[in-house]
Amino acid sequence: MTDDLDVDQLVRPEEVHSRVYTDPSIFQKEMELVFGRTWIFIGHESEVPNPGDFKTDRIGRWPILMTRDAGGKVHVFYNICRHRGATLCHESDGNGRSFKCMYHGWSFASDGALIGVPLAERMRGFDQAQYGLVALARVESYKGFVFASLCAEGMPLEVYLASVLPYLDEMVERAPNRRIAAVKPLKYEFDGNWKLQIENFSENYHPSVLHQSVFAHRARHTGKPTTTMKDSATGSREMALAFGHAVVDFRGTRRGKPYPGEDEYLQALSRRDDPKRAAELRDLDLHILIYPNLLLHTRFNHYRVVKPVAVDRTEIDVYPCRLGGAPDSLNEQLVHDSADHVSPVGLVQVDDLQAFDWVQDGLASGALGWMPLKLHGGDEHVNADGHLEWIGASEGVIRNQYQEWARLMSAGQPVAAH
Ligand code: FES
Ligand SMILES: [Fe+2]
């Protein structure tokens, strides 16, 4: 932290100080100590399915270039020319044999090698092999999910993700051929701090109030009663996992109408697994939070990447995913439902974005100081895996995030497994 900041002045076990959402110097420290040190999600390998495919992105203050090289290997580089530091590729995605910098014309292959230098023969003491693109310090992937760390030191990805992997596995298992494929993202931004979105995703306190209009709309269509606070208090099984991760299991509580192609999908799963397991996977309904920037929604089968831009500005990219081996009609409905749910013109996320705007506006006044995070779910207990678990609406997932935030923001401590 900067000299005049102290984590204990910002986070207590059941309280958080409003400065964590509004202070630009805290935001800078978050980029350095949270996004700059831990594992961050970059993309899914299916975003670059073919040799030569690439996507560009920005994680915190870092421009990123993810590529698949001619041999099929996925790389994550800084999207920065090795000559004078110009950002290199200005397309959001595409396919090509090389990247040519617009400034002086240096060219790089998709494996990062520097392959073209105008007037190379007149460079002195110049070893071209030394000037390939700079890769992020560590890049690892798990079942197609690519993570990177800017920090060369630290725990392996599988240790960092260990507590959340069973749930990520289930999301992948929903695809009959065990492969999911991201489609082009829906992109939007809001005038609020990045933490507002990751807090909101696994906080089941707000939906029956904030999303009242959408629940009433659905109730009219289905003839079923609308969702109430009582439903929220009893309807989900929630778990705080290691390193700020979390899972909220809504299974059986909010199933809508059957999907087109659902019978065929169930048969495909049943050919692979026993019918009970197939039905379980069909009905899987998890919110999975992988701290600090990845939110996965298994029912509509999308993932959201949360991208901090400034202390009061955040971008969100939503990638609907197709289930490999499932009928097209079902996949099209999943993509449609993701757009309906979390696009800027959808029914649900617009409410949340409005709430983020209100919160940021209110906190910017500086009037509040410490704010409570005191809501607990029912039957809160440590489960057999050693994780805190409870039933229904709670701020436990947020408290868990701040525990990890405080750990990372207390610079210098070892990043050890627990
Ligand atoms: S900055 Fe890229 S070629 Fe000079
Ligand atoms: Fe919401």
Domain ranges of the chain: 40-149, 161-409
- Residue 219: is its pLDDT beyond 50? yes
323 or 5: which leads in pLDDT: 323
Distance 103 CA to ligand 1 centre (A): 5
What is the C-alpha separation between 72 and 137, in angstroms, rounded?
20
> Can you tell me the mean pLDDT for 377-386?
97
Nearest CA owner, ligand 1 atom 3: 104
Nearest CA owner, ligand 1 atom 1: 84
For 63, the enclosing helix (H) or strand (E) is strand 62-68
- Residue 332: is its pLDDT beyond 90? yes
Token digits of residue 117: 């230098």
- Residue 224: is its pLDDT beyond 90? no
Three-class DSSP category at 41: strand
pLDDT digits (tens, 9 = 90+) for 147-205: 999 999 999 999 999 999 999 999 999 999 999 999 999 999 999 999 999 999 999 99
pLDDT digits (tens, 9 = 90+) for 231-267: 899 989 999 999 999 999 998 887 677 899 999 999 9
Distance 238 CA to ligand 2 centre (A): 16
Q: What percent of the chain has pLDDT over 90?
A: 87
Strands (E) across 223-312 are located at: 237-240, 246-249, 286-290, 294-297, 302-310
Ligand 1: list residues with CB < 6 Å.
81, 83-84, 86, 101, 103-106
Nearest CA owner, ligand 1 atom 4: 104
Task: Give the DSSP letter of residue 120.
Answer: G
Strands (E) across 232-365 are located at: 237-240, 246-249, 286-290, 294-297, 302-310, 313-323
pLDDT of residue 412: 55
Q: What percent of the chain has pLDDT over 70?
A: 97
What is the C-alpha separation between 106 and 84, in angstroms, rounded?
10
For the domain covering 40-149, report its CATH number.
Answer: 2.102.10.10
pLDDT of residue 414: 44
- CB-count burial class (<10 Å; 0-12, 13-18, 19+) for 83: middle
Question: CA-CA distances (angstroms) from residue 244 to 17, 311, 400?
Answer: 18, 20, 5
Class of domain 161-409: alpha beta
Mean of all residue pLDDT scores within the chain: 94
